[in-house]
Structure formats: C-alpha cells, structure tokens
Structure 1
Amino acid sequence: MNTDGSPDHQWWKEAVVYQIYPRSFNDSDGDGVGDLQGITERVEYLADLGVDVIWLCPVYDSPNADNGYDIGDYRSIMPEFGTMADWEALLAELHAHDIRLLMDLVVNHTSDEHEWFQRSRRREDGYEDYYYWRDGDVDEDGEPVPPNNWGSFMGGSAWTYDELREQWYLHLFDEKQPDLNWRNPDVRDEVASLVEWWLEKGIDGFRIDAINYISKPEGLPDGTADREPKGVEVFSHGPRIHDYLRELYDRTFANYDVLTVAEMSDTTVDMAGDYLGEDGDGLDMIFHFEHMDVDISPRGRFDPDGWGEWSLPEFKEIMTRWQTELGEDAWNAQYLGNHDQPRIVSRFGDDEEYRVESAKLLATFLMTVRGTPFVYQGEEIGMTNDDFERLEDLDDPMTVGAIEDLIDAGRADSYEDLRAFVNYVSRDHARTPMQWSDAANAGFTTGEPWLALNENYPEINVEAARADEDSVWNYYRRLIDLRHDEEVLVYGEYELLLPDHEQLYAYTRTLDDETVLVVLNWSGESVAVDADLVEESPTAVLRSNYDDAPAVPSGQEFRPYEAVVYRL
C-alpha cells in the first residue's frame, strides 16, 4: 500500500501469467518437438484466453540432459526450438498482442558442456574456481570417495569425479549440471552480463530457477537431517544469498520495469520478506513450496511413505498464512501446478466424475486469492495426469533417479511396486504434449511426439473446449476477465472464513467499501453452508461454475466442487 492507503499499482500485480513448456506446446515442423514458431502460431490463442504475460521455460542452447535446464550457451537458442530470429519474431508477436515475456533464468548451475565448465576442468587461468571442485578421500579399496554426503535432486551423490581435473565437482541436480561457484566475483559478473544482455533484447522479466541454492556454506559440511536429498537443509538459503541477490538486483533488474519471480523451495513466510521488494533483495515475488508439500512425506517428495493424503484445513492454514503474514509491501505468486508438478485437477480436484467442476473450482481459487496467478499450459482445458505403465515410459531424470535410488535401497523390488506412487508425483504428467484437437497426435505435431500423449485427448482438447460455452476454457477466460475488471480481486485484503471446515473454503476480499465473497465446496459431496456465514447480503453472483448458483450462500446447499464468487 502507498502511504495514503491506496494500492501500490504495478502491472505485474494485475497480470495473469501463462507458463509455456516449449517442448510440449506446439510443433510447427513435424519433428515431434514443440518449437518457437509453434508458439508464435498460437499467440492469437493466448490473446483470446486473455493472459497478460508468458513465462517461457528454457529455450537456450542445451545438451538437454534436463529438458533445457542444463544450459550450454545462454545467448543462443536450442536448434530443436529454432533460431534467435524465431525467438525475436515470437517476442515481437507477443508484444503486438500486448503480451509480455518472461524468460527462465537458470544460474545455480550450467551444463557440463558449457565453455566455462570445460575451461574450468582444464584449470585454465581465470576459470579454475568457476565451479565447486574438491578433493575427496579414498575407500579401503583405493576408490575415490565424495567430499561430503550431499545428495542430488536427481538421485545418487551430488558429486561426480572428473578424470581430467582429478577432482570432484558439485552438482545438486544431474551430473551434467555442475553448480556455479557464486563466491567467485567473476561468476557474478558473468551472470549480471547475461541478464543485462536479455533485458536489452526487450524481455519483460525472469522466472529465476532454484535460486535458493546459489550460496553454499563454508566448508561444505555434511547434512544431518533425515530428508532427501541429503544435505538440503545445509545448502538451501546459504549464508551469502542475500548479498548475491541484492547485488544482482542493483546491477540489473533495478534499471528496468520488469517482473522477477524466484523459485525458492524451503522458504517460509517469515523468510520471504527478506527477499522481496526494495527493503529486501529486490525480487517481486517468489514461488514458495509449502502448499506443494501438503500431500508429500516430510522426508521429501520422492519418499513413497505418507504421500497423497491432504486435508483442506491444513491447506487453508498454509495459504492464509501467506495471504496475511507476508506484509503489505510484499506480493504472492499464486500457482497450483507447473512443469515440475502433477496436473492440478488430478492432484487437488477430481479428474473423473467431477473433472470439469473441480477444474473450474481450482481456477476460481487461483483468480480470486491475493497474488499474481500463474496458469500452466493445459490447465485451462482441465488436462489430467497420465498413466505411466513402465519405467521406459518416463522421461524425467528426477523421477527416474528417485526410482532407481528406491530400488537400490531395497525399498521396492521393481517399478511396478512404485507405479501408483510415480503416477501421483511424476513431473512427466505436466510434460505430455498440449492437446489441441481430436486429430492425430492431438494436433500437437504431424510427426512422432517426443513424449507420448495422454490417451484422453479426443475428449479433452482445445478445439472442443472453445466450441463449448460451458467448458473449462471458457470459464478460465471469463474468470481472467473478471480479475481484470475487479480491482478488489487484485488488491483487496483477504479474510478466511470457516478455517476448520473440512469441505468449504470461504474467504472475502475487501478494498475500501467493496467486498467480494468466494465460496468453494472443495469436495465431491454436497454440503450445507452455515446460515450466518456473512452478515451482508450478496448483491450479485459474479462467477459460478454451475448454471444456477445460490443467490445467497448462507443456509444453502453447495453441490460437489461448486464455486461461487459473490459481490456483497
């Protein structure tokens, strides 16, 4: 808020962001892989949906060990996706439709094929310490032993021995993704330079990947907590992270009118304020993971014990804490899914009997809580999780590595023992190709798709959804319009009602003398709303996912996954 109590208007607070995973969005040349020209072909579709910003997952030149998050050249485009000219044409087309572009900034690590790493492993002058190199020990058989017990998010050790340099290098992700050493000022200069280079090309900001891992503690001590990967409590949010981020902000982001949203797991609401705004490290918002962890084991996402169960009161408590305790000058990024998460209607809704109703309820929630909503491709048509019958059906190295670790540790005998678990958590669910029509390969490609399509595409696809006025797609479009029209849904204060209710999630948004009430029956059973839910009588139903929503909520019965937005 401003000093006079009025909202601090910012374009990125009022925007709706749509995330594109380029490999799976739209293929223009029939090679089975989505590309930049394919995205350009669909800009009109994005404009019709009403989104304001596109977040583009990495399209930089990459060996593709982790689907583009292993970058070989930050200033070049992956040939599979096209050329720099194709990227420039996409940017121009987006801007012509008043849609801004966020690029993905991946600077915790590079590819091991990046020039910096190749020069570092050869100990070339000036590059020796661009990465974390350490001597290890040897075991009783004389074999090298890693420098500490840290584990990789992709499974196994976070260390790999390099025969050329005769030392171990650190990689918190795949062994082809060595971690940059941010203690080295030359590394920080390089990062600032590439950020400036992209900003000068006219982009509108960055989603910043895995940035809470850039500062490692002195001595790289062993991890002790019973969490996976081992050591995460040590290498997350390290001692100099605020210095590094503030320096990057002062040198780059502060000089442009851009959006920065940082991916930061293990971040609590109490920590978040130190990263956000001018009084913090300059970031505009962060992706926290507390609500993403509501249904997983405390030991980590890929622990097959204690997964899949979650309660609405616990979810409400997490979301409300972030709505009310973040501070007036900080801002939320709201999301339920992305390229690293299962499909939201399969995880938080009902992807069978009430797929349409629950997909609309989830959309209602995203568009009416405080913060900038992020919609992942396919959510707007209610795409669902797939069924990966065999290990060979999976592409994601994180999921595959976790399975291999569990089998090696004796916690499972085969993939079949883990199949139900994998089909709940796998990142590949979000990466199956976009379902454009009921034509061959869902209209995604004329070739062989790089990842198998979900078999339900003849029923769930964009073409069918756009032709149906009552579809999930048209409901998203109307909700986005509502958020654009109603300032209270952007800047209004949030107040939770019925915190302990097992089925109902109800809250108000209030700005000056205007109040909106949102009532969500987040369950597959009908439920009666308390007669005294609110004192004021609604004057209008602004949006609802059933045709005949109750004109007043109090004392009424709400049907399975019914969602209604009222003006009071």
Structure 2
Amino acid sequence: MARKHTDRLESGDGSHHPGPPRFVTVGEGFVNPNGDEMETRDELAPWNLDRNPDGEYTWHVADVPEGSTATPTDAPIAEFVPDVSGEYTFVLEAPDGEHELTVRAFPQQEAEGEQPRPQVRLEVTTNADQDRTQNRNQERVQFEATAQLADDAAAGDEKPDTDLTVEFYTDDWNALELDGQNSVSRAALESLERPARVYAVAVTDDGRYSIPDAVEVWVGSGAGDADDAVGIAERSDIHVERPFEPPSWVEDAIVYEIFTRRFPDQEDPTFETIADRIDHLADLGVDVLWLTPMLETDRGFGTPDSQGGPHGYHTDDYLRVDPDLGTMADFEALVDACHDHDIRVVFDLVINHTGDTHPFYEAAVDDSHPEHERYRDWYRWKNFAERDADTYFGWEGIPNLDHSNPAVRAYLLDVIDFWAPLVDGFRTDVAWGVPLGFWTEVADRLRRYDAKFFLLDETIPSDVEMGGGRFHMHHDDVLHDTLESVAAAAVAADGGGAADAGRGEEEGNGDGEERKRDDEGGNGDGEAKAKADGAHNDTDTEDAVVDTFSDMSVDAIDGASAILDAVSERARRGAHPDSEWLLYVENHDTDRFLAEHGRDAQQAAAAATFTLPGSPMLYYGQETGLTERREPMNWDGFDTAVLEYYRNLLDLRQSVPALQRAAALERVPYEAGTKYAVAYARDASAVHQIVDQTGVEDGPQRVLVVLNFSPEPTTVRVNERISGPDLLSGAQVVSESDGDESEWDWAVTVDSAVVLESEGSATE
C-alpha cells in the first residue's frame, strides 16, 4: 500500500477548538436524546478528543441575542437549545486554552418542509482581476454569493414573493474579519498561519436558511487547479479551494456494492477469492467497490437468513478483519488488486452501534467485569438497571453507542485514523444516528489528511444537512422509492403479477431455482425496509419500520414523470450545490427489483439511475439476474441477456458527455401511450462551450431519454430533433409522425429504455 496507517490524524488546527460556525433553528438546536429513531442528532463538542479524552472541558455563553436565557448543559459534550433568533458566542474552556464558537440561530418555521429551502453559492474575486496594474500590497479578496430558491427556476419570470439575503461568517480560530463589503486585504491573509475559511448562508425573509457554502483562501506560491473555478486571476498567488467539493474522481463514478460474504466463490469465500473476481467489475467499467462490513462479527458465516444472513453489521472488533475472510494482509492485497484495475475501495463504517457481543458491551453489562465502570457509559440506556440498551426499532442486537462520551469519540477517531490510509472512502451506516458535529470533525480530519478521500452517508430519509462540509454523496432514497412506486403501479395497471411481469418462463435467476421472496430476511444493520433483526420479530415493530422507511417517494399518481419530481426534490429541500447522489434500484436491504416488478420495469429503473444526474450504483447480481436479496452470486449461471443490457448501460454512461455530471437535466414536452412512460433530455453543450475543449470526450452533447415502466411496449411522441439508432440497443426506434395533423414531429417506440442523440427542440 502506498499509504500507511501509523500516523495520528488531526482535525482543524490540531487544538480542541470545536470547529466551524454552527447554524441551527430556534427550539431545536443541539440535542442528542435517546429514542427518536429518525431525528437528526447534534451536540457541541471539543475536537481532537483522541489527544485528551479525560481532560476538563466546560462551556458557557459569552454573548447572546437580547431576551435569551438559554444556556448549555454542564457536560464536556454539551447540548444547547436556542430560545431567541440571532447570534450566540460560546466559549469552550479546554486543557489547551479558551476557544470561541459562533452559533447562528434562525427562527423556527411554522410549516417546516412545505416551503423550499434556499441554496447559496459563494464566489471569490480580487481587485487584481479588474485592474492588472494593481499593486499586490493593495490587493483585496472579495466574497460574493448567489442565492436562489428551487422555485426560481420553475417559475421563470414569475419569481416567488420571497426576499433572499446572504450572511457571511469566518472560522473563529482565525483572527480574520471581513469589512462592510465582505472583502479582506491580502495583508490580512498573509498574517494568518493557516488558510482562512469563509462561509455564506442564504436566508429568506421568514428565516429559512441554506446549507452553508464555503471557500478556503490563502497566500502562497503557484496557483492550484481549483483557482480557475472560483474566479481568481491566473497572475495572482492567492489560492482558493472549495472544501465541500467531492474528490474529482467521484463526480462520474459508477459504484458497485457487494454483499461481502455472498459475492466470492461460495466454496472458498475469502478476500482472495473476491480479488479473483475483480476482473468482472473491471470488464463492466466499475469505478468504486463498496464492501459491506468485513470486520470481526457474530453475524458472519453461518448466520441464518432469519437474522439477515452473514451481513457483518454487528461489529465485535473495529481493528480486526473477520478471520474467516482472511488476514489484514489479504485485505490489503484485495485493495491493491482493485487499484490495479483503477477501482477505488469504500469501507462500510459502522460507528452508530456495536454488536451486543462486542467486548465493550459485554463489559458494560457485567458488574463483575474489571472494565465495567469504564464501558457502562459507552452505551445509551433506556434502563441500565435492567440492562435495556437504547436501540433502533427493536433491533436488540445492536446497542447504540453514546457519542456524548468523550472516550467514545476518542476511540472512534482512532478507528477512523486506522482505516483511512487503507481505503479510498467510507460509506457510513446509520449516519443519522451519529451527531452532525462529529461528522463535521470527521470530514475535516479526513480532508486535511487526504483531499481525495470520499464520504458517502446513509440517512433515511436522505438529510441535506449531511452535505456542505460533512459528506460528499447521499443515498437518493427519494428517487429509489419513487422508482419502486412507479414500477409497482405500472405492473398493477397492466393486470400482471408483479413477480412475473415481463419475464418468460425460462427467465429465472440463472441457476434454475424458482424465485422466492426473502420474507424472513433481517435488515441486519439499521437500514432494512421490512424486517426487524435477530429474534425480535414483533409484527407491529416490523410494520412501523416499513411505514417509516418506505414512504419517501414522490407521489406517483401522475405516473413516471414522478421520477423527475424526485430529482427536483434535491433542490427544493435545499441540498448543497456540490452534493452528489447515489442512484440505485436495489441494495442489500431491499428486495430485488427484477423479482418484484419484472424485467421491463427493472431495465427502465436501471436506465433512470444511469441517465439522471447522480452516480449510478449496481448491487452485486443486479446485472446477472439474481432475484433474492442476499443470495450467493451466480457465477456459473449469469442471465446473459440481463448482463448485456447492463454492459450497454455502463458503456453509454461512460462514453456520452450528455449523461455525465455536468450535463443539465431538461423536462421536454411529450405524449405517451401510457402514463408510466416519461421522456427527458440531458444536455452538456452549454457546459462544453465555456470550458477548454481539450480532453472532452467525443459523443453526443445532448440526448433524449425515454423510459417505459409498463410490461408492454409503447409509443412516445416528441418534438425533439432526434436521429440515429437507439444508443443503448442499436435498434431503429424513431419514426416521423404521419401527416400534418399531428403536433408531434417524431414517434419513439420503447420497450423499457431508449437513448437518442438530439439536436434540441424542433419548435425552437
């Protein structure tokens, strides 16, 4: 391995300063209670607790808005609920001195979630950009921001009757202040020991506020690649970076998730046999391998299906791989094999909970254990006397860690320090259960260690607060559930059975077995849509989990156009402009789309994930015809027709600029024979007109995508100037509309998905 896992990492400036300014809502603030399975948690905490978890830390408020009487709790990791909107200044007294923290509290909203949330983009220029003769000593850096509401784009000239303002903040650990024009002198930047970070927050007139955007600025020699993106002149040695941007390798990545103990050859399922199968991923064109947990666990090989199979989400040792899979050297060899194929590796980080067989938990519940007094406070308890741990949804085998304990945070930072040099990113399980402030520190810590390190969160429903300085990418559960809803409605409307729609009698899972629903499959890790874990199989609890997790879709009453509404939801909820989205039709916690909705609907849904903005993900066996959630990979029985379809999808995604990240998504007028068909365009031409053309891939700059979730073919009519064969199948599917009476110029015949080169609207 090129990187070593021996050095301790550090967060922020290396001190116990509690991080960047915080933005909260009156009446909510920073709270981390037991229960409340779906509520976002947060706290005020010192950073770098791994240096001194046993030190004395106290909080007090130095300045509050007029009328406020709120105070923080008396704990090293404190809770605080603001009672008045305005700006608060906190002081943390730590072993290394006093540290100030700015907290901005915004008014509580009466109808939260109904109105769109603003978005903001921070830009940077210097006066040298306008005046090339400017003396560098007089050079100033100007911060400007563009704010918008999601409705702005849809409303055209009819803008919402809402005023937007922008507030600017700087990190409290730098003695940097902006002037009244939101600028700073070159001299002020030169006086700083560390880069200065500036934040912008957009605010509506009724107090709705955006996820903050940020830039880092410093004076140095040579200009970085990031400078051009934020407007700094090439002649300047003032550097600017966007700390919330994802690594460049993530932006158009195709992700492949494997269920670690069911993907390799089943006669010898080890890291080595996974490595032997990496050629399959490379041949597909996969960029990122997401490994479900492979640490020591009591949910490894031999775990029955009634407990979710060998999923590994009940961790027994955070620093040791499962010996049944191999050694640490074997794991590192697997990572090397992936890197040899230009595939990056994402580690499934599970730090919301441990398994109930973890030594820490065993010590916590055993009065006679020599470490009992230490570890009893590492977990959250409903009733400690009865050893009733706080868990989610009755999943009794996974007690929640108490992140309000400095020792827990210190230990988890050590875990992160250990694994970060060995992998390329973390996918964080049950990320919503860990306080936001801790994720802020983790993201800062990892970025300072390796700016190319990648962070993917699991929050259900996806939480836009996880963006903007915490995670680069979010599971797009809204799109996933909308695809499920549209497919189910389409199959039901056709009158066919969901399980068999669109599939011939011979179209099984590749090994001759009949499809059978994994009705007893446990969720295993806090994500599953249907089943509680382990022996806890109370029907009421299971139904509650289903109701909570499976109702995230956009209303599909109008049919397949709902998938475009699902994409629009990202901006309406105020997602950070740099947030990426993981697009999937199934994963280890869902039933297989093919089994539930049939081949045509599966192909349409998969095409949506590969042609809509975001990063497509394949769950192992999705491309080979598997029909059960966590069954072994069918290495000797691929469904070759399904595999060929997915090969074409991946090739298309990687070769067509119009399907990649920078391309715009456009709604287009269309007429379809069923409401379960939808058409839309992706257009990269505007982007490529304003950037250097060097290295831009040949291929269509604009395409029309047509999807059909119905089991039967349909015709979709459009006014796009489309030409050529279907880029996905090579078939001729376009015909000119008959006569002059039709208002539509072209007709497209579509079974499940069609992608066509387009020159734009025929009516322009």
Q: What TM-score results when the alignment is normalised by the length of structure 2?
A: 0.51
Q: Is the 8 A contact 1:493 1:511 kept in 2?
A: yes
The offset of 1:358, in angstroms, is 4.2
Cα pair distance change 1:334/1:367, threshold 3 Å: same
Q: Supply the distance in 1 between the matched residues of 2:386 and 2:670 (Cα, whole angstroms).
A: 57
1:408 aligned partner: none
The offset of 1:288, in angstroms, is 3.7
The offset of 1:329, in angstroms, is 2.1
1:479 aligned partner, one-letter code = L
The offset of 1:472, in angstroms, is 2.5
Q: Supply the distance in 2 between the matched residues of 1:376 and 1:313 (Cα, whole angstroms).
A: 25
2:712 aligned partner: 525
2:479 aligned partner: 291
Q: Is the 8 A contact 1:111 1:178 kept in 2?
A: yes
2:592 aligned partner: 343
SS of the residue aligned with 2:746?
A: coil
SS of the residue aligned with 1:58?
A: coil
Q: Is the 8 A contact 2:601 2:708 kept in 1?
A: no
1:50 aligned partner, one-letter code = G
SS of the residue aligned with 2:274?
A: helix
Q: Supply the distance in 2 between the matched residues of 1:315 and 1:109 (Cα, whole angstroms).
A: 34
- Are positions 1:17 and 2:201 aligned together? no
The offset of 1:567, in angstroms, is 3.9
SS of the residue aligned with 1:507?
A: strand
- Are positions 1:489 and 2:489 aligned together? no
1:198 aligned partner: 419
Q: Supply the distance in 2 between the matched residues of 1:103 and 1:62 (Cα, whole angstroms).
A: 15
The offset of 1:205, in angstroms, is 0.3
Deviations, residues 16-59 of structure 1 (Å, cap 9, x unaligned):
111110121123645xxx33222111011111111011000001
2:714 aligned partner, one-letter code = V
2:293 aligned partner: 58
1:485 aligned partner, one-letter code = S
SS of the residue aligned with 1:129?
A: helix
The offset of 1:127, in angstroms, is 2.3
Q: Supply the distance in 2 between the matched residues of 1:300 and 1:507 (Cα, whole angstroms).
A: 36
SS of the residue aligned with 2:577?
A: coil
Q: Supply the distance in 1 between the matched residues of 2:758 and 2:326 (Cα, whole angstroms).
A: 47
1:189 aligned partner: 410
- Are positions 1:281 and 2:453 aligned together? no
- Are positions 1:71 and 2:315 aligned together? yes
Q: Supply the distance in 2 between the matched residues of 1:174 and 1:299 (Cα, whole angstroms).
A: 14
For 1:223-234, list aligned pairs within 5 A. Answer: none
Cα pair distance change 1:526/1:505, threshold 3 Å: same
Q: Supply the distance in 2 between the matched residues of 1:531 and 1:489 (Cα, whole angstroms).
A: 19
Q: Is the 8 A contact 2:683 2:702 kept in 1?
A: yes
1:521 aligned partner, one-letter code = N
Deviations, residues 71-130 of structure 1 (Å, cap 9, x unaligned):
000111223322222212211111111111001011110011212212222463432311
2:755 aligned partner: 564
The offset of 1:519, in angstroms, is 1.2
2:211 aligned partner: none
Q: Supply the distance in 2 between the matched residues of 1:494 and 1:44 (Cα, whole angstroms).
A: 33
2:461 aligned partner: 266
1:290 aligned partner, one-letter code = V
Cα pair distance change 1:8/1:111, threshold 3 Å: closer
1:431 aligned partner: 630
Deviations, residues 308-346 of structure 1 (Å, cap 9, x unaligned):
996424344223323776353222111111000111223
Q: Is the 8 A contact 1:361 1:545 kept in 2?
A: no
1:247 aligned partner: 441
The offset of 1:376, in angstroms, is 0.6
SS of the residue aligned with 1:495?
A: strand
Q: Which runs of 5 or more structure 1 residues have no equivalent in the other structure? A: 136-161, 215-240, 385-428, 438-460, 466-470
Q: Which runs of 5 or more structure 2 residues have no equivalent in the other structure? A: 1-120, 122-228, 233-244, 300-306, 486-528, 531-541, 687-700, 738-744, 760-764
2:749 aligned partner, one-letter code = F
1:363 aligned partner: 606
1:477 aligned partner: 647
For 1:80-479, list aligned pairs within 5 A. Answer: 80-122=324-366, 124-135=372-383, 166-172=386-392, 174-201=395-422, 203-214=423-434, 241-256=435-450, 257-267=452-462, 271-272=463-464, 274-276=465-467, 280-294=468-482, 295=485, 300=544, 302=546, 311-322=559-570, 326-347=575-596, 349-350=597-598, 355=599, 357-384=600-627, 429-437=628-636, 461-462=637-638, 465=640, 471-479=641-649
SS of the residue aligned with 1:126?
A: helix
Task: Tell me the percent identity.
Answer: 28
- Are positions 1:505 and 2:678 aligned together? yes
Cα pair distance change 1:26/1:299, threshold 3 Å: closer
1:550 aligned partner, one-letter code = V
1:260 aligned partner, one-letter code = L
SS of the residue aligned with 2:681?
A: strand
The offset of 1:253, in angstroms, is 4.5
Q: Is the 8 A contact 1:323 1:494 kept in 2?
A: no
The offset of 1:254, in angstroms, is 4.2
The offset of 1:380, in angstroms, is 1.2
SS of the residue aligned with 1:342?
A: coil
2:340 aligned partner, one-letter code = A
SS of the residue aligned with 1:320?
A: helix
Cα pair distance change 1:542/1:314, threshold 3 Å: closer
Q: Supply the distance in 2 between the matched residues of 1:562 and 1:500 (Cα, whole angstroms).
A: 16
Cα pair distance change 1:486/1:559, threshold 3 Å: closer
Q: Supply the distance in 2 between the matched residues of 1:338 and 1:174 (Cα, whole angstroms).
A: 20
1:508 aligned partner, one-letter code = A
Cα pair distance change 1:332/1:70, threshold 3 Å: same
Higher relative contact order, structure no. (Cα contacts within 8 Å, ≥ 6 residues apart):
1
The offset of 1:61, in angstroms, is 0.3
Q: Is the 8 A contact 1:377 1:434 kept in 2?
A: yes
Cα pair distance change 1:313/1:483, threshold 3 Å: closer
The offset of 1:540, in angstroms, is 4.1
The offset of 1:213, in angstroms, is 1.8
Q: Supply the distance in 2 between the matched residues of 1:29 and 1:116 (Cα, whole angstroms).
A: 33
Q: Give the paired residue count.
A: 420
The offset of 1:551, in angstroms, is 6.5
2:397 aligned partner, one-letter code = K
2:668 aligned partner, one-letter code = L
Q: Is the 8 A contact 2:289 2:344 kept in 1?
A: yes
SS of the residue aligned with 2:376?
A: coil
Cα pair distance change 1:260/1:552, threshold 3 Å: farther
Q: Supply the distance in 2 between the matched residues of 1:494 and 1:60 (Cα, whole angstroms).
A: 40
The offset of 1:521, in angstroms, is 1.9
Q: Is the 8 A contact 1:263 1:286 kept in 2?
A: yes
The offset of 1:373, in angstroms, is 1.0
Q: Supply the distance in 1 between the matched residues of 2:583 and 2:433 (Cα, whole angstroms).
A: 22
The offset of 1:381, in angstroms, is 2.2
